[in-house]
Amino acid sequence: VPLDLEAFCQELVEELQLTVKTPHQIGFRRQGRSRWVGLDEKLLRQFLTNLLSNAIKYSPEGGTVQFDLIFDADQVRFTIKDQGIGIPEKEQAQLFDAFYRSSNVGTISGTGLGLAIVKKCVERHQGEIAVDSEVGKGTTFIVTIPVGSELSPESLNIVGCV
């Protein structure tokens, strides 16, 4: 079922701002031409919620969380950028293993399962996830999902938005 991705992301951010008890502001931006895509709503909600709540949770001293949705010709990209504690370079490869937590989490609690679930959700869409992070500076997660090929000509006709 095609989904208005921009509206979906916008609503998810508003929902999180209301439910997560945090002073953090989540900025949301769309780049590229907005369109409907055939992504699974439940999986999408699952991985975006995990990434956005991590960005908030691991930014104990505040700072902004920036969520960008980027439409390219044949893929969509989601970037979630924070100014939090960061992840040591040597540990970045292990992050997506179940129960792995980096050595610098301190007293911030968690099970270490979120990113393993995120990775599964992204892979179900033939997508990829990457991380760019520096300790003490912040972290960016980048999810890239190919789209377009799975869209039928009919669904392209209902392309809405700008």
Binding site for ligand ATP (CB under 6 A): 50, 54-55, 58, 82, 84-87, 95, 100-102, 105, 110-116, 139
Task: Pick one of Mg ion, ligand ATP, none as the site partner of residue 58 (Cβ within 5 to 8 A by kind).
Answer: ligand ATP
| Neighbour count for residue 126 (Cβ, 10 Å) | 12
The CA distances from residue 57 to 2, 9, 31, 51, 78, in Å, are: 31, 19, 26, 10, 19
Q: Give, for 144, the enclosing helix (H) or strand (E).
A: strand 138-146
DSSP designation for 74: S
Q: How far is the CB of 103 from ligand ATP (least distance, A)?
A: 8
Instruction: CB nearer to Mg ion: give 54 or 79.
Output: 54
- In terms of Cα–Cα distance, which of 158, 57, 154 is closest to 111? 57
Instruction: CB nearer to ligand ATP: give 38 or 110.
Output: 110
Tokens (6 digits) for 137: 């500076």
The stretches of 58-152 forming alpha helices (DSSP H) are 114-124
Residues 2-41 binding Mg ion (CB under 5 A) are: none
Instruction: CB nearer to ligand ATP: give 108 or 156.
Output: 108
Task: Pick one of Mg ion, ligand ATP, none as the site partner of residue 84 (Cβ within 5 to 8 A by kind).
Answer: ligand ATP
Q: Figure out which of the listed residues 2, 114, 127, 138 binds Mg ion, where binding follows CB under 5 A.
A: 114
Beta strand pairing status for 128-134 and 3-4? unpaired
Residues 37-66 binding Mg ion (CB under 5 A) are: 54
Task: Pick one of Mg ion, ligand ATP, none as the site partner of residue 101 (Cβ within 5 to 8 A by kind).
Answer: ligand ATP
- State the residues that interact with Mg ion by CB under 5 A: 54, 114
